[in-house]
Structure 1
Amino acid sequence: MNLHTLPGLFISHGSPMLAINPEQVGPALNRLGLNLPKPQAIIVMSAHWESNALEVSTAVRAMTWHDFRGFPEQLYDIRYPAPGDPALAEEILKLFADAHIAAHANSTRPRDHGVWMPLLHMYPEADIPVVEISLPMNMSSDQIYQIGQVLSVLRERQILLIGSGSITHNLRELAWHGESRNVPEWASTFRNYVVNHLNHSNYEAVLDWENIPYMQRNHPTIEHFAPLFFAMGTGTRFSVVHSSFSMGALGMDIYRFD
Protein backbone atom coordinates (compact mmCIF):
# COMPACT_ATOMS: atom_id res chain seq x y z
CA MET A 1 0.00 0.00 0.00
CA ASN A 2 1.47 3.34 -1.07
CA LEU A 3 0.79 5.75 1.78
CA HIS A 4 1.02 9.51 1.60
CA THR A 5 1.79 11.91 4.44
CA LEU A 6 -1.31 14.00 5.10
CA PRO A 7 -1.30 17.47 6.68
CA GLY A 8 -2.79 18.54 9.96
CA LEU A 9 -5.73 20.94 9.62
CA PHE A 10 -7.45 23.61 11.67
CA ILE A 11 -11.05 24.01 10.49
CA SER A 12 -13.41 26.78 11.56
CA HIS A 13 -16.67 24.85 11.62
CA GLY A 14 -18.95 27.87 12.12
CA SER A 15 -22.65 27.69 12.90
CA PRO A 16 -24.58 24.40 12.63
CA MET A 17 -26.31 26.04 9.66
CA LEU A 18 -23.15 25.32 7.65
CA ALA A 19 -24.57 21.84 7.08
CA ILE A 20 -27.45 23.20 4.96
CA ASN A 21 -26.09 26.65 3.99
CA PRO A 22 -22.44 26.03 3.07
CA GLU A 23 -21.64 29.66 2.12
CA GLN A 24 -17.98 29.94 1.00
CA VAL A 25 -16.43 27.45 3.40
CA GLY A 26 -18.50 24.40 2.34
CA PRO A 27 -17.06 24.36 -1.22
CA ALA A 28 -13.57 25.01 0.23
CA LEU A 29 -13.92 21.96 2.48
CA ASN A 30 -15.23 19.92 -0.44
CA ARG A 31 -12.22 20.88 -2.60
CA LEU A 32 -9.88 20.01 0.25
CA GLY A 33 -11.43 16.55 0.50
CA LEU A 34 -11.02 16.04 -3.26
CA ASN A 35 -7.44 17.35 -3.40
CA LEU A 36 -5.96 15.41 -0.49
CA PRO A 37 -5.13 11.70 -0.80
CA LYS A 38 -8.06 9.82 0.73
CA PRO A 39 -7.31 9.31 4.44
CA GLN A 40 -7.05 5.85 5.97
CA ALA A 41 -8.66 7.40 9.06
CA ILE A 42 -9.46 10.82 10.54
CA ILE A 43 -8.72 12.04 14.07
CA VAL A 44 -10.60 15.14 15.25
CA MET A 45 -10.21 17.29 18.35
CA SER A 46 -13.46 19.25 18.60
CA ALA A 47 -14.30 22.41 20.54
CA HIS A 48 -17.56 20.67 21.51
CA TRP A 49 -16.02 17.89 23.56
CA GLU A 50 -14.62 19.74 26.55
CA SER A 51 -13.35 17.44 29.29
CA ASN A 52 -11.33 17.50 32.48
CA ALA A 53 -8.89 14.77 31.41
CA LEU A 54 -7.96 13.87 27.84
CA GLU A 55 -10.35 11.27 26.38
CA VAL A 56 -10.34 9.19 23.20
CA SER A 57 -13.47 7.77 21.58
CA THR A 58 -13.20 3.99 21.23
CA ALA A 59 -16.74 3.66 19.80
CA VAL A 60 -17.28 1.21 16.96
CA ARG A 61 -19.82 3.61 15.42
CA ALA A 62 -20.53 6.82 17.32
CA MET A 63 -24.04 8.28 17.09
CA THR A 64 -24.54 11.58 15.25
CA TRP A 65 -25.29 14.11 17.98
CA HIS A 66 -27.29 17.25 17.22
CA ASP A 67 -25.77 19.19 20.11
CA PHE A 68 -27.63 22.48 19.49
CA ARG A 69 -31.14 23.90 19.81
CA GLY A 70 -33.43 26.21 17.89
CA PHE A 71 -32.35 25.43 14.33
CA PRO A 72 -34.44 24.28 11.31
CA GLU A 73 -35.89 20.78 11.53
CA GLN A 74 -33.96 19.48 8.51
CA LEU A 75 -30.71 19.96 10.41
CA TYR A 76 -31.78 17.35 12.97
CA ASP A 77 -32.40 14.77 10.24
CA ILE A 78 -28.74 14.75 9.16
CA ARG A 79 -26.70 11.67 10.05
CA TYR A 80 -22.98 11.11 9.58
CA PRO A 81 -22.63 7.32 10.00
CA ALA A 82 -18.85 7.01 9.50
CA PRO A 83 -17.41 4.07 11.46
CA GLY A 84 -15.17 4.50 14.44
CA ASP A 85 -11.79 2.77 14.69
CA PRO A 86 -11.29 1.16 18.12
CA ALA A 87 -7.89 -0.27 17.13
CA LEU A 88 -6.60 3.18 16.14
CA ALA A 89 -8.11 4.63 19.33
CA GLU A 90 -6.11 2.11 21.38
CA GLU A 91 -2.98 3.04 19.43
CA ILE A 92 -3.61 6.72 20.21
CA LEU A 93 -3.98 5.88 23.91
CA LYS A 94 -0.64 4.04 23.79
CA LEU A 95 1.07 7.02 22.09
CA PHE A 96 -0.22 9.24 24.90
CA ALA A 97 0.91 6.78 27.57
CA ASP A 98 4.39 6.59 26.02
CA ALA A 99 4.53 10.41 26.10
CA HIS A 100 3.40 10.44 29.76
CA ILE A 101 0.10 12.16 28.89
CA ALA A 102 -2.81 10.82 30.94
CA ALA A 103 -5.73 9.81 28.71
CA HIS A 104 -8.85 7.66 29.02
CA ALA A 105 -10.98 5.58 26.68
CA ASN A 106 -14.61 6.60 26.14
CA SER A 107 -16.85 4.15 24.24
CA THR A 108 -20.18 5.98 24.66
CA ARG A 109 -19.54 9.56 23.55
CA PRO A 110 -21.71 10.56 20.53
CA ARG A 111 -20.17 12.50 17.63
CA ASP A 112 -20.75 16.26 18.02
CA HIS A 113 -21.25 18.74 15.19
CA GLY A 114 -17.66 19.97 15.46
CA VAL A 115 -16.77 16.60 13.94
CA TRP A 116 -19.55 15.68 11.55
CA MET A 117 -20.35 19.10 10.09
CA PRO A 118 -17.01 19.78 8.38
CA LEU A 119 -16.66 16.10 7.41
CA LEU A 120 -20.10 16.23 5.79
CA HIS A 121 -18.60 18.62 3.22
CA MET A 122 -15.15 16.99 2.96
CA TYR A 123 -16.16 13.32 2.85
CA PRO A 124 -19.93 13.14 2.29
CA GLU A 125 -19.86 9.34 1.75
CA ALA A 126 -18.99 8.94 5.48
CA ASP A 127 -16.88 5.90 4.60
CA ILE A 128 -13.64 6.87 6.40
CA PRO A 129 -13.17 5.78 10.04
CA VAL A 130 -13.28 8.72 12.48
CA VAL A 131 -11.84 8.88 16.00
CA GLU A 132 -12.68 11.91 18.15
CA ILE A 133 -10.45 13.10 20.96
CA SER A 134 -11.55 15.52 23.65
CA LEU A 135 -10.35 19.03 24.42
CA PRO A 136 -8.91 18.88 27.96
CA MET A 137 -9.77 22.26 29.46
CA ASN A 138 -7.33 21.91 32.37
CA MET A 139 -4.38 21.74 29.97
CA SER A 140 -2.28 24.73 28.92
CA SER A 141 -1.89 25.78 25.29
CA ASP A 142 1.58 24.21 25.30
CA GLN A 143 0.18 20.90 26.53
CA ILE A 144 -2.55 20.87 23.86
CA TYR A 145 0.15 21.68 21.29
CA GLN A 146 2.10 18.66 22.59
CA ILE A 147 -0.94 16.41 21.96
CA GLY A 148 -0.70 17.43 18.29
CA GLN A 149 3.04 16.73 18.28
CA VAL A 150 2.52 13.25 19.75
CA LEU A 151 -0.07 12.32 17.10
CA SER A 152 1.83 13.94 14.20
CA VAL A 153 3.61 10.62 13.49
CA LEU A 154 0.26 9.23 12.31
CA ARG A 155 0.21 11.66 9.36
CA GLU A 156 2.80 9.43 7.63
CA ARG A 157 0.23 6.61 7.57
CA GLN A 158 -2.28 8.73 5.62
CA ILE A 159 -4.22 9.61 8.78
CA LEU A 160 -5.74 13.09 8.75
CA LEU A 161 -5.50 15.15 11.96
CA ILE A 162 -8.04 17.95 12.45
CA GLY A 163 -8.52 20.60 15.12
CA SER A 164 -12.13 21.76 14.74
CA GLY A 165 -13.03 25.12 16.28
CA SER A 166 -13.25 28.67 14.96
CA ILE A 167 -10.67 31.38 14.41
CA THR A 168 -13.12 33.87 15.98
CA HIS A 169 -16.15 32.89 18.06
CA ASN A 170 -18.18 35.59 19.81
CA LEU A 171 -21.77 34.53 19.13
CA ARG A 172 -23.23 37.60 20.85
CA GLU A 173 -21.62 39.91 18.32
CA LEU A 174 -22.85 38.17 15.15
CA ALA A 175 -25.36 39.44 12.60
CA TRP A 176 -27.75 36.50 12.91
CA HIS A 177 -30.51 38.04 10.78
CA GLY A 178 -30.35 39.92 7.52
CA GLU A 179 -27.23 40.89 5.65
CA SER A 180 -23.90 40.29 7.31
CA ARG A 181 -22.27 43.43 8.57
CA ASN A 182 -18.82 44.39 7.46
CA VAL A 183 -16.12 42.50 9.34
CA PRO A 184 -15.41 44.48 12.54
CA GLU A 185 -11.86 45.67 13.07
CA TRP A 186 -11.46 43.73 16.33
CA ALA A 187 -12.18 40.46 14.46
CA SER A 188 -9.96 41.12 11.43
CA THR A 189 -7.11 42.43 13.62
CA PHE A 190 -7.21 39.28 15.74
CA ARG A 191 -7.31 36.95 12.74
CA ASN A 192 -4.49 38.80 10.96
CA TYR A 193 -2.30 38.75 14.07
CA VAL A 194 -2.64 34.97 14.37
CA VAL A 195 -1.99 34.33 10.66
CA ASN A 196 0.96 36.72 10.53
CA HIS A 197 2.69 34.98 13.43
CA LEU A 198 1.97 31.50 12.07
CA ASN A 199 3.30 32.61 8.67
CA HIS A 200 6.56 33.62 10.36
CA SER A 201 6.73 30.35 12.36
CA ASN A 202 6.26 32.31 15.58
CA TYR A 203 4.10 29.66 17.22
CA GLU A 204 5.00 30.97 20.68
CA ALA A 205 3.07 34.21 20.06
CA VAL A 206 -0.09 32.22 19.30
CA LEU A 207 0.37 29.80 22.21
CA ASP A 208 0.67 32.93 24.38
CA TRP A 209 -3.01 33.46 23.58
CA GLU A 210 -3.87 35.70 26.52
CA ASN A 211 -1.76 38.47 24.98
CA ILE A 212 -3.24 38.37 21.47
CA PRO A 213 -4.99 41.69 20.66
CA TYR A 214 -8.79 41.55 21.17
CA MET A 215 -8.59 37.96 22.48
CA GLN A 216 -11.45 38.38 24.93
CA ARG A 217 -13.71 40.03 22.36
CA ASN A 218 -13.14 37.25 19.80
CA HIS A 219 -13.15 34.38 22.28
CA PRO A 220 -15.10 35.08 25.48
CA THR A 221 -14.27 31.42 26.22
CA ILE A 222 -11.22 29.57 24.88
CA GLU A 223 -12.70 26.28 23.62
CA HIS A 224 -13.08 27.27 19.93
CA PHE A 225 -9.54 28.65 19.73
CA ALA A 226 -7.76 25.82 21.58
CA PRO A 227 -8.11 23.20 18.77
CA LEU A 228 -5.73 25.46 16.81
CA PHE A 229 -3.00 24.65 19.35
CA PHE A 230 -3.53 20.95 18.59
CA ALA A 231 -3.34 21.55 14.82
CA MET A 232 -0.18 23.64 15.26
CA GLY A 233 1.49 20.67 16.93
CA THR A 234 0.92 18.46 13.88
CA GLY A 235 3.30 20.29 11.50
CA THR A 236 5.81 23.10 11.15
CA ARG A 237 4.90 24.51 7.71
CA PHE A 238 1.80 26.71 7.84
CA SER A 239 -0.48 27.76 4.99
CA VAL A 240 -3.97 29.27 4.68
CA VAL A 241 -6.40 27.04 2.76
CA HIS A 242 -9.39 29.35 3.05
CA SER A 243 -10.27 32.66 4.66
CA SER A 244 -13.68 34.30 5.02
CA PHE A 245 -16.06 35.71 7.60
CA SER A 246 -19.71 34.76 8.13
CA MET A 247 -22.40 36.85 9.85
CA GLY A 248 -19.96 39.72 10.21
CA ALA A 249 -17.50 38.55 12.86
CA LEU A 250 -17.45 34.74 12.63
CA GLY A 251 -14.11 33.74 11.13
CA MET A 252 -14.33 30.69 8.83
CA ASP A 253 -10.62 30.16 8.15
CA ILE A 254 -9.04 26.80 7.34
CA TYR A 255 -5.33 26.33 8.04
CA ARG A 256 -2.96 23.59 6.94
CA PHE A 257 0.14 22.33 8.77
CA ASP A 258 2.69 20.17 6.92
Structure 2
Amino acid sequence: MMPSFFVAHGAPSLVLEEHAYTSFLKNLASTLPSKPKAIVIFSAHWEQSQQTISAVDTHGTIYDFSGFQEELYQITYPAKGERTLSETIKALFASHGIDSVLDEQRGLDHGAWAVLKLIYPEADIPVVALSVNRYLSNEQQYQIGAALASLREQGVLIVGSGGTVHNLRQVNWRTQEVDDWAEAFDQWIQEKVEAWDIEALMNYKDLAPYAQAAVPTNEHFIPLFLAMGSGDLHREAKLLHRSYQYGNLSLSCWQFN
Protein backbone atom coordinates (compact mmCIF):
# COMPACT_ATOMS: atom_id res chain seq x y z
CA MET A 1 0.00 0.00 0.00
CA MET A 2 1.25 3.47 -0.89
CA PRO A 3 1.70 5.81 2.09
CA SER A 4 0.25 9.29 2.06
CA PHE A 5 2.02 12.50 3.04
CA PHE A 6 1.53 15.96 4.42
CA VAL A 7 4.23 18.18 2.92
CA ALA A 8 4.95 21.81 3.76
CA HIS A 9 5.62 23.90 0.66
CA GLY A 10 7.09 26.96 2.38
CA ALA A 11 7.75 30.01 0.22
CA PRO A 12 7.54 29.75 -3.59
CA SER A 13 11.35 30.01 -3.72
CA LEU A 14 11.62 26.63 -1.95
CA VAL A 15 12.07 24.88 -5.28
CA LEU A 16 15.29 26.86 -5.91
CA GLU A 17 16.78 26.51 -2.45
CA GLU A 18 19.37 24.09 -1.12
CA HIS A 19 19.08 23.12 2.53
CA ALA A 20 18.12 20.17 4.72
CA TYR A 21 14.45 20.24 3.77
CA THR A 22 14.94 20.42 0.01
CA SER A 23 17.52 17.63 0.27
CA PHE A 24 14.96 15.59 2.18
CA LEU A 25 12.27 16.15 -0.47
CA LYS A 26 14.66 15.24 -3.27
CA ASN A 27 15.28 11.91 -1.54
CA LEU A 28 11.68 11.19 -0.55
CA ALA A 29 10.76 9.26 -3.70
CA SER A 30 13.53 6.74 -3.04
CA THR A 31 11.86 5.77 0.26
CA LEU A 32 8.57 4.71 -1.34
CA PRO A 33 7.81 1.04 -2.00
CA SER A 34 7.37 1.72 -5.71
CA LYS A 35 6.85 4.51 -8.20
CA PRO A 36 3.29 5.83 -7.84
CA LYS A 37 0.86 5.15 -10.66
CA ALA A 38 -0.50 8.65 -10.07
CA ILE A 39 -0.35 11.49 -7.57
CA VAL A 40 -3.37 13.12 -5.96
CA ILE A 41 -2.45 16.43 -4.34
CA PHE A 42 -4.47 18.86 -2.23
CA SER A 43 -2.99 22.37 -2.41
CA ALA A 44 -3.65 25.13 0.12
CA HIS A 45 -3.51 27.56 -2.79
CA TRP A 46 -6.52 26.15 -4.60
CA GLU A 47 -9.56 27.23 -2.59
CA GLN A 48 -13.07 26.46 -3.74
CA SER A 49 -16.42 26.45 -1.96
CA GLN A 50 -17.23 23.13 -3.66
CA GLN A 51 -14.78 20.24 -3.76
CA THR A 52 -13.10 20.47 -7.15
CA ILE A 53 -11.06 17.86 -9.01
CA SER A 54 -8.70 18.65 -11.86
CA ALA A 55 -9.42 16.82 -15.10
CA VAL A 56 -6.94 18.27 -17.58
CA ASP A 57 -4.91 16.51 -20.25
CA THR A 58 -1.67 18.27 -19.34
CA HIS A 59 -1.19 20.67 -16.44
CA GLY A 60 -0.19 24.26 -17.02
CA THR A 61 1.99 26.02 -14.44
CA ILE A 62 0.42 28.80 -12.36
CA TYR A 63 2.72 31.49 -10.94
CA ASP A 64 0.48 32.59 -8.08
CA PHE A 65 3.04 34.88 -6.44
CA SER A 66 5.05 38.02 -7.16
CA GLY A 67 8.34 39.59 -6.19
CA PHE A 68 10.45 36.44 -6.28
CA GLN A 69 13.44 35.44 -8.42
CA GLU A 70 12.89 35.67 -12.16
CA GLU A 71 14.08 32.08 -12.45
CA LEU A 72 10.94 30.91 -10.69
CA TYR A 73 8.77 32.16 -13.53
CA GLN A 74 10.65 29.95 -15.99
CA ILE A 75 9.93 26.70 -14.14
CA THR A 76 7.25 24.46 -15.56
CA TYR A 77 5.77 21.19 -14.39
CA PRO A 78 3.86 19.75 -17.37
CA ALA A 79 2.58 16.59 -15.68
CA LYS A 80 -0.20 14.74 -17.44
CA GLY A 81 -3.64 14.51 -15.91
CA GLU A 82 -5.56 11.26 -15.55
CA ARG A 83 -9.21 11.64 -16.48
CA THR A 84 -10.16 8.14 -15.36
CA LEU A 85 -8.70 8.78 -11.92
CA SER A 86 -10.46 12.14 -11.72
CA GLU A 87 -13.77 10.43 -12.37
CA THR A 88 -12.95 7.68 -9.86
CA ILE A 89 -12.30 10.33 -7.22
CA LYS A 90 -15.60 12.01 -8.04
CA ALA A 91 -17.38 8.67 -7.60
CA LEU A 92 -15.61 8.02 -4.29
CA PHE A 93 -16.65 11.42 -3.02
CA ALA A 94 -20.24 10.79 -4.10
CA SER A 95 -20.31 7.46 -2.26
CA HIS A 96 -19.33 9.34 0.91
CA GLY A 97 -21.89 12.10 0.44
CA ILE A 98 -19.34 14.66 -0.72
CA ASP A 99 -20.44 16.87 -3.61
CA SER A 100 -17.71 17.58 -6.17
CA VAL A 101 -17.12 18.88 -9.70
CA LEU A 102 -14.46 18.42 -12.36
CA ASP A 103 -12.29 21.28 -13.61
CA GLU A 104 -10.88 20.92 -17.13
CA GLN A 105 -8.80 24.11 -17.29
CA ARG A 106 -6.85 24.95 -14.13
CA GLY A 107 -3.14 24.13 -13.95
CA LEU A 108 -0.96 23.47 -10.91
CA ASP A 109 -0.28 26.30 -8.45
CA HIS A 110 2.99 26.57 -6.56
CA GLY A 111 1.58 24.68 -3.60
CA ALA A 112 1.54 21.68 -5.91
CA TRP A 113 4.30 22.09 -8.48
CA ALA A 114 7.01 23.43 -6.16
CA VAL A 115 7.06 20.30 -4.00
CA LEU A 116 6.38 17.89 -6.87
CA LYS A 117 9.30 19.40 -8.80
CA LEU A 118 11.58 18.49 -5.90
CA ILE A 119 10.17 15.00 -5.34
CA TYR A 120 9.56 13.93 -8.95
CA PRO A 121 11.44 16.46 -11.12
CA GLU A 122 10.74 14.66 -14.40
CA ALA A 123 6.97 15.30 -14.15
CA ASP A 124 6.45 11.81 -15.54
CA ILE A 125 3.67 10.71 -13.16
CA PRO A 126 0.03 11.67 -13.80
CA VAL A 127 -1.28 14.25 -11.32
CA VAL A 128 -4.80 15.03 -10.16
CA ALA A 129 -5.07 18.23 -8.12
CA LEU A 130 -7.79 18.76 -5.52
CA SER A 131 -9.07 21.98 -3.97
CA VAL A 132 -9.54 22.84 -0.30
CA ASN A 133 -12.39 24.62 1.45
CA ARG A 134 -11.50 26.59 4.57
CA TYR A 135 -15.13 26.84 5.66
CA LEU A 136 -15.68 23.14 6.34
CA SER A 137 -15.24 21.73 9.83
CA ASN A 138 -12.06 19.90 10.74
CA GLU A 139 -14.08 16.69 10.92
CA GLN A 140 -15.29 17.22 7.35
CA GLN A 141 -11.73 17.81 6.15
CA TYR A 142 -10.65 14.54 7.71
CA GLN A 143 -13.53 12.68 6.08
CA ILE A 144 -12.63 14.05 2.65
CA GLY A 145 -9.21 12.48 3.02
CA ALA A 146 -10.70 9.25 4.37
CA ALA A 147 -12.94 8.98 1.30
CA LEU A 148 -9.84 8.55 -0.85
CA ALA A 149 -8.05 5.96 1.31
CA SER A 150 -8.76 3.08 -1.10
CA LEU A 151 -6.70 4.81 -3.81
CA ARG A 152 -3.57 3.99 -1.83
CA GLU A 153 -4.18 0.28 -2.46
CA GLN A 154 -4.06 1.05 -6.19
CA GLY A 155 -0.61 2.63 -6.04
CA VAL A 156 -1.81 6.23 -5.90
CA LEU A 157 0.20 8.68 -3.80
CA ILE A 158 -1.94 11.13 -1.81
CA VAL A 159 -0.28 14.41 -0.77
CA GLY A 160 -1.58 17.32 1.28
CA SER A 161 0.51 20.44 0.62
CA GLY A 162 0.38 23.30 3.12
CA GLY A 163 2.13 24.23 6.38
CA THR A 164 1.43 23.75 10.07
CA VAL A 165 2.88 27.11 11.14
CA HIS A 166 2.10 29.63 8.41
CA ASN A 167 1.75 33.26 9.47
CA LEU A 168 3.25 35.58 6.89
CA ARG A 169 2.80 38.58 9.20
CA GLN A 170 5.14 36.96 11.71
CA VAL A 171 7.95 35.78 9.42
CA ASN A 172 11.33 37.43 9.73
CA TRP A 173 13.17 37.17 6.43
CA ARG A 174 16.51 38.04 8.08
CA THR A 175 16.79 35.50 10.88
CA GLN A 176 17.66 31.83 11.24
CA GLU A 177 16.61 31.67 14.89
CA VAL A 178 13.38 29.77 15.51
CA ASP A 179 10.61 31.39 17.53
CA ASP A 180 9.70 29.46 20.67
CA TRP A 181 5.97 29.79 20.03
CA ALA A 182 6.26 28.11 16.62
CA GLU A 183 8.13 25.16 18.09
CA ALA A 184 5.66 24.88 20.97
CA PHE A 185 2.71 24.68 18.59
CA ASP A 186 4.39 22.15 16.32
CA GLN A 187 5.41 20.01 19.30
CA TRP A 188 1.80 19.88 20.48
CA ILE A 189 0.68 18.91 16.98
CA GLN A 190 3.33 16.20 16.83
CA GLU A 191 2.22 14.64 20.10
CA LYS A 192 -1.43 14.56 19.06
CA VAL A 193 -0.82 13.29 15.53
CA GLU A 194 1.50 10.52 16.69
CA ALA A 195 -1.12 9.45 19.25
CA TRP A 196 -3.85 9.87 16.57
CA ASP A 197 -5.75 11.97 19.10
CA ILE A 198 -8.51 13.04 16.74
CA GLU A 199 -10.60 14.73 19.43
CA ALA A 200 -7.75 17.02 20.46
CA LEU A 201 -6.70 17.78 16.89
CA MET A 202 -10.22 18.69 15.85
CA ASN A 203 -10.16 21.27 18.63
CA TYR A 204 -6.59 22.49 18.14
CA LYS A 205 -7.67 26.14 17.98
CA ASP A 206 -8.79 25.97 21.61
CA LEU A 207 -6.26 23.47 22.96
CA ALA A 208 -2.94 23.99 21.20
CA PRO A 209 -0.50 26.62 22.51
CA TYR A 210 -0.13 29.68 20.27
CA ALA A 211 -2.69 28.31 17.82
CA GLN A 212 -3.85 31.75 16.71
CA ALA A 213 -0.29 32.85 15.94
CA ALA A 214 0.55 29.63 14.14
CA VAL A 215 -2.70 29.29 12.18
CA PRO A 216 -4.26 32.74 11.69
CA THR A 217 -6.07 31.35 8.63
CA ASN A 218 -6.56 27.64 8.19
CA GLU A 219 -6.13 26.98 4.47
CA HIS A 220 -2.51 25.82 4.93
CA PHE A 221 -3.38 23.65 7.94
CA ILE A 222 -6.29 21.85 6.25
CA PRO A 223 -4.05 19.60 4.09
CA LEU A 224 -2.76 17.96 7.28
CA PHE A 225 -6.28 16.75 8.08
CA LEU A 226 -6.84 15.69 4.47
CA ALA A 227 -3.66 13.61 4.34
CA MET A 228 -4.22 12.22 7.82
CA GLY A 229 -7.76 11.19 6.93
CA SER A 230 -6.42 9.10 4.05
CA GLY A 231 -4.47 7.11 6.65
CA ASP A 232 -7.46 6.44 8.89
CA LEU A 233 -7.47 2.66 8.32
CA HIS A 234 -4.15 1.95 10.07
CA ARG A 235 -3.67 5.24 11.94
CA GLU A 236 0.12 5.17 11.84
CA ALA A 237 1.85 8.54 11.66
CA LYS A 238 5.54 9.39 11.48
CA LEU A 239 7.19 12.81 11.41
CA LEU A 240 9.91 12.52 8.76
CA HIS A 241 11.25 16.06 8.84
CA ARG A 242 10.78 19.36 10.58
CA SER A 243 12.77 22.55 10.24
CA TYR A 244 12.00 26.27 9.98
CA GLN A 245 12.69 29.28 7.83
CA TYR A 246 12.43 32.98 8.60
CA GLY A 247 11.86 32.53 12.31
CA ASN A 248 8.67 30.47 12.23
CA LEU A 249 7.71 29.22 8.77
CA SER A 250 7.40 25.49 9.40
CA LEU A 251 8.85 23.01 6.91
CA SER A 252 7.58 19.60 7.91
CA CYS A 253 6.65 16.29 6.36
CA TRP A 254 4.38 13.66 7.86
CA GLN A 255 3.94 10.14 6.55
CA PHE A 256 0.71 8.22 7.13
CA ASN A 257 0.66 4.45 6.64
Asked if these proteins are the same fold (TM beyond 0.5), I'd say yes
The residue that corresponds to 2:135 in the other structure is 138
**Matched residue SS, 1:75:** helix
In structure 2, what residue type is equivalent to 1:245?
A: Y
The residue that corresponds to 1:205 in the other structure is 200
Counterpart CA distance in 2 for 1:47 and 1:209 is 18
Of 10, 14, 21 in structure 1, the residue corresponding to residue 17 of structure 2 is: 21
Counterpart CA distance in 2 for 1:154 and 1:88 is 9
Q: Does structure 1 conserve the Cα–Cα contact (< 8 Å) formed by 2:59 and 2:77?
A: no
Q: Does structure 1 conserve the Cα–Cα contact (< 8 Å) formed by 2:3 and 2:157?
A: yes
The residue that corresponds to 1:241 in the other structure is 240
Pairwise CA distance, 1:160: 0.3
Counterpart CA distance in 1 for 2:13 and 2:137 is 31
Q: Does structure 2 conserve the Cα–Cα contact (< 8 Å) formed by 1:53 and 1:138?
A: no
TM-score under structure 2 length normalisation: 0.96
Counterpart CA distance in 2 for 1:256 and 1:176 is 29
In structure 2, what residue type is equivalent to 1:207?
A: M
Which has the higher mean CA deviation after the structures are superposed, 25-34 or 8-17? 25-34
Counterpart CA distance in 1 for 2:204 and 2:61 is 32
Which has the higher mean CA deviation after the structures are superposed, 135-144 or 62-71? 135-144
In structure 2, what residue type is equivalent to 1:27?
A: S
Deviations 1:140-164 (A, max 9, x none): 1111100111101100111000010
Which has the higher mean CA deviation after the structures are superposed, 59-68 or 206-215? 206-215
- Closer, same or farther: CA 208–174 of 1 in aligned 2, 3 Å: same
Pairwise CA distance, 1:137: 2.3
The residue that corresponds to 1:257 in the other structure is 256
Deviations 1:116-145 (A, max 9, x none): 011111001100000001002231111110
Counterpart CA distance in 2 for 1:130 and 1:223 is 21
Deviations 1:105-124 (A, max 9, x none): 11111210111011111001
Counterpart CA distance in 1 for 2:204 and 2:159 is 20
Of 209, 216, 219 in structure 2, the residue corresponding to residue 220 of structure 1 is: 216
Q: Does structure 2 conserve the Cα–Cα contact (< 8 Å) formed by 1:34 and 1:122?
A: no
Counterpart CA distance in 2 for 1:198 and 1:23 is 26
Residue 98 (structure 1) aligned with residue 99 (structure 2): no
CA RMSD of aligned residues (A): 1.0
Counterpart CA distance in 2 for 1:209 and 1:133 is 24
The residue that corresponds to 1:121 in the other structure is 118
Q: Kindly, what percent of the aligned residue pairs are identical?
A: 40
Pairwise CA distance, 1:215: 1.2
The gaps in structure 2 that reach 5 residues or longer are none
Which has the higher mean CA deviation after the structures are superposed, 134-143 or 83-92? 134-143
Of 150, 164, 170 in structure 1, the residue corresponding to residue 161 of structure 2 is: 164
In structure 1, what residue type is equivalent to 2:143?
A: Q
Of 60, 75, 80 in structure 2, the residue corresponding to residue 78 of structure 1 is: 75
The residue that corresponds to 2:188 in the other structure is 193
Deviations 1:204-226 (A, max 9, x none): 21122321221110121110001
**Matched residue SS, 2:147:** helix
Structure 1 runs (4+) deviating above 2 angstroms are none
**Matched residue SS, 1:172:** coil
TM-score under structure 1 length normalisation: 0.95
The residue that corresponds to 2:55 in the other structure is 58
Of 27, 30, 33 in structure 1, the residue corresponding to residue 29 of structure 2 is: 33
Counterpart CA distance in 1 for 2:53 and 2:9 is 20
**Matched residue SS, 1:252:** strand
Pairwise CA distance, 1:23: 2.1
Q: Does structure 1 conserve the Cα–Cα contact (< 8 Å) formed by 2:55 and 2:128?
A: yes
In structure 2, what residue type is equivalent to 1:239?
A: K
The gaps in structure 1 that reach 5 residues or longer are none
